A and B are shown apart, each in its own frame.
Chain A
Amino acid sequence: MNVRCLFFARLCALLAAFWSVGGAAGELRIGVLAWLGDRTAAAQWQALGAGLQARLPETTVRMSYHDMAGLENALAVGELDFIITNPGHYVVLEVRHGATRIATQKIDPGRDSEHAVGSAVIVPNGRNDVRTLDDLRGKRIAATVPDDFSGWLTVWAELKRRGIDPESGGVTPLFAGLPMSRVLETLERGEADAGILRVCLLEHLIRQGRLPADRYRVLSPQDPSAPCLRSTPAYPGWVFAAAPHTPDALSRATLVALLSLDGRNDALSWGVPADYHPVHAMLRDLQVAPYDYLREYRLGAQIRRYWPVGAGLFAVLLLWLLYTLRVEVLVQRRTRELSAALATQQEIEESMQAQRQKMEHLSRLSILGQLSGTLAHELNQPLATIGNYARSLTRRIWTGKLSEEAVAQAAYEIASQAERAARILEGIRDFARKRASRREDCDAGKLVGETVALFRGMLARAPEVRIDDRLPADCRHVRVDRLQVQQVLLNLLKNAFDAHAAIGQHGQAIDIVLEQDDDRARIAVRDYGPGLAEADRARLFEPFFTTKPDGMGLGLSICKDIVEAHAGQLDVSQPEEGSGLRFSFTLPLATGKHHDAS
């Protein structure tokens, strides 16, 4: 005590000397954090203001009350010389605004100021399922407000230390608001499983008889022998701090005044400033103000540190996505293209088929057109003959000269001429009809014979056609479309005829040779016309190539198509001896030994 008095005396003397040297007297503006509104705070801190005023008579002590943001703002703009606030808030203001603590409140007389603040987590005594803080996992816990130091932050830090992070859903905080009695009300209503009270409040309420002693118990008491049980570490108490611009002399004078207060109540109990590192560590750990930047820092730092990896991963992911997308698009496009190609191919094949049928038909019509003159003659002949006989008979009846002999002769001639006309028409009709390809087995020699007959029937004075059939007896059947092969033969015969006509040899005979060529039958048509130059022979099968003045140049190209459709080959060559051309084509022999009935 002695020492202390001596210390104070010296200090006062020193300050007084300094003060007098400074000579400046003025205001002492103190901002106080008001948790529970200005009035409550004013009532709480009125004694301090009065005590300081008494000890610093030359200055005017002015107390002002603020919420957290207001206090910080007032400090920032220089309206305050000193502040009084809780440890958490102080740390914020120290970091952000350079506030310097000069004293720490001593809450519980007899206890050091280093361990003044902490929290007790309480549960109703009946809750046997919750014995320690660890049992709070998944439970609801009632607190005051999120930035309350002893009403939430201390417990949060402790829970987090135990691996139960409220931010990860370890426990569910229920913020009941201020004052702290609301926490108890929430607990009473059964809305929460546990509640947070600042240290000693429970004991205080029990002492005052406002709570039964056995109603709540404190979880995980850290120091069971202490008069107040707490579930968290103890932290330094409220802080009296100087603003950065506050002159040192004023700070010292104020500190002296503070320390010399009599400590009759909490507001008047101040001690030497405590070490606030534990508070810093706790807030840093929680990454709340003033260390809230750490959240950003943490995320930002990770991004900054790992961005190449992240970017790489992202790029890979993006590439994979693009690749997948690309593959999908390609697959779809290829599928579309494929089906389009298939459709196009089918269309082309159909159109080619239609075109070929049209060409065949055209060729038939073209041949018909070229032969129509002789055809008319051919039909005129039997018609005129029949007419003559009929009129002659009539005439003979009139003149009474009708004899049975005459009637018999006329009737016979009329009938045979009618049959002749019918044969011509039938041949033409079969030939001109447009039809789909139809394969059947037939005797090659017979087919050639029929075609030659048809050819001769279509011409007024058909030339002789000599058929040299060298096919062996067991290889005579070909599998063909009869009409198409007839068309090829007719074309070749017509060409031979035209070649002879071109040099005025209408009556020149045409040669046809049938022979076996491996597994095929070869049919060759030879004329004795002027022949063709090598260059023209090469172009002979091109569509629309013609050597005839009125030819369309389609006949041979269609013939080639037809022969090739029969897996055969149509060739033209110069005969070994004599003039003219030799056209030959092959037809597949029928595999079975069919015998054509027709």
Chain B
Amino acid sequence: MTQADSDPVIHVVDDEAPFRRSLLFLLESAGWTACEHESAESFLAARPPLPAEGGCLVLDIRMPRISGLELQRRLAALDSPWPIVFITGHGDVDLAVQAMKDGAVDFLQKPFKDHAFLDAIERAVNLSRTRQEASRRSSEARELLARLSPREGEVARLLALGLSNKEIGRKLSISDNTVHVHRQRVMKKTGAGSAAELARLILRADPDGLDGQ
């Protein structure tokens, strides 16, 4: 089975070897590429990057030393992009609530139906792809905005907020003509056709880009 580095990968972290192997076997049956880790530590040591086509983690809640929830917290701290599907042998509501609050995709109790598990995997992988796309477009926007000079950047931000040339000139203590020249350059460099488009670009680059006047 040949696979490219960009293909999605599912990482299974569970200390119970037979069960872990059965999950791998199931995932492979559904056509996924899967990797196994016998503990949280071994996954953290490997810290595989999220492939371009996405992927997800399958974590057992109860594991010796570092539990599934603990691993989730540590990954969040590391800004990990991996979506997480939890699996548990116990119907522990508190654990489930905590896991979902912390951004888990799903929380499955053993024994579970194969399609429920595979659906969860599908959703998690899609989520990873969406996140991947958003991140790619954000970096593109940041790249475009980086081409602007500091003054152009200021003019662009005020334009995105819907201010007129006259208002911008008054605010920046420059003439209307000067504002007009900057505006021409901003539109050219970013390729934005309107002030609204410019606003979307700025927000894509930085969701907080328009805050704090």
Contacts and interface: CB of A to CB of B under 8 A. Distances in A.
Contacts of B28: 392
A132 interface: no
Contacts of B3: none
A43 B16 CA distance: 152
B64 A392 contact: no
B114 interface: yes
Interface stretch (A110-118, A295-303, A406-414): A406-414
Nearest to A383: B111
A391 B26 contact: yes
A392 B16 contact: no
A391 B90 contact: no
Contacts of A387: 111, 114
B22 interface: yes
Interface residues of B, number: 21
Nearest to A414: B22
B150 interface: no
B29 A395 contact: yes
A382 interface: yes
A311 interface: no
B64 A373 contact: no
A409 B18 contact: no
B16 A395 contact: no
Interface centre among A384, A396, A413, A507 (most CB of B within 10 A): A384
Given A373-B90, A381-B18, A417-B18, A388 B114 contact: yes
A399 B114 contact: no
Interface string A371-399: 00100110011111111110111011001
A333 interface: no
A416 B18 contact: yes
Interface residues of A, number: 29
A509 to B, nearest CB: 14
Nearest to A506: B64
Contacts of A373: 90
Interface in B1-57: 16, 18-19, 21-23, 25-26, 28-31
A409 B30 CA distance: 17
Interface string B39-83: 000000000000000000000001010000000000000000000
Contacts of A382: 18
Contacts, number: 70
Contact of A385 (B19, B31, B64, B113): B19
B114 A395 contact: yes
B92 to A, nearest CB: 10
Contacts of B101: none
A377 B26 contact: no
A333 to B, nearest CB: 66
A384 B112 contact: yes
Contact of B31 (A377, A399, A460): A399
B29 A380 contact: no
A396 B89 contact: no
A507 B63 CA distance: 12
Contacts of A380: 89, 110-111
A388 B23 CA distance: 7
B16 A389 contact: no
A401 interface: yes
- Of A377, A388, A396, A410, chain B has the most CB atoms within 10 Å of the CB of A388
A395 B22 contact: no
A406 B28 CA distance: 10
A406 B111 contact: no
B18 A395 contact: no
Which of B23, B28, B110 counts the most chain A CB atoms within 10 A?
B110
Contacts of B114: 387-388, 391-392, 395
A423 interface: no
A357 B213 CA distance: 80
Interface in A208-246: none
Given A377-B89, A381-B89, A392 B19 contact: no
A539 interface: no
A439 interface: no
A281 B29 CA distance: 148
Interface in A23-44: none
A326 interface: no
A413 B113 CA distance: 18
Contacts of A127: none
B25 A406 contact: yes
Nearest to A398: B29
A537 interface: no
A395 B26 contact: yes
Nearest to B30: A395
Interface string B78-108: 0000000000011000000000000000000
Interface string A308-339: 00000000000000000000000000000000
Given A377-B90, A381-B16, A401-B29, A392 B110 contact: no
Contact of A381 (B25, B26, B110): B110
Given A392-B29, A396-B29, A460-B62, A385 B89 contact: no
Given A373-B90, A381-B110, A388 B26 contact: yes
A461 B64 CA distance: 8
A389 B91 CA distance: 22
Nearest to A420: B18
B110 A384 contact: yes
Contacts of B62: 377, 460
A377 to B, nearest CB: 4
A413 B110 CA distance: 17
Contacts of B31: 399
Interface of B: 16, 18-19, 21-23, 25-26, 28-31, 62, 64, 89-90, 110-114
Given A376-B89, A384-B112, A401-B29, 11 more contacts: A373-B90, A376-B90, A377-B89, A383-B110, A383-B111, A385-B19, A385-B22, A388-B25, A391-B114, A399-B29, A399-B31
Interface of A: 373, 376-377, 380-389, 391-393, 395-396, 399, 401, 406, 409-410, 413, 416-417, 460-461, 507
Query: Which 6 A-B pairs give the minimum distances between C-beta atoms?
Result: A388-B22, A391-B114, A384-B111, A384-B110, A392-B29, A377-B89
6 contacts: A381-B16, A381-B110, A384-B19, A384-B22, A384-B110, A401-B29
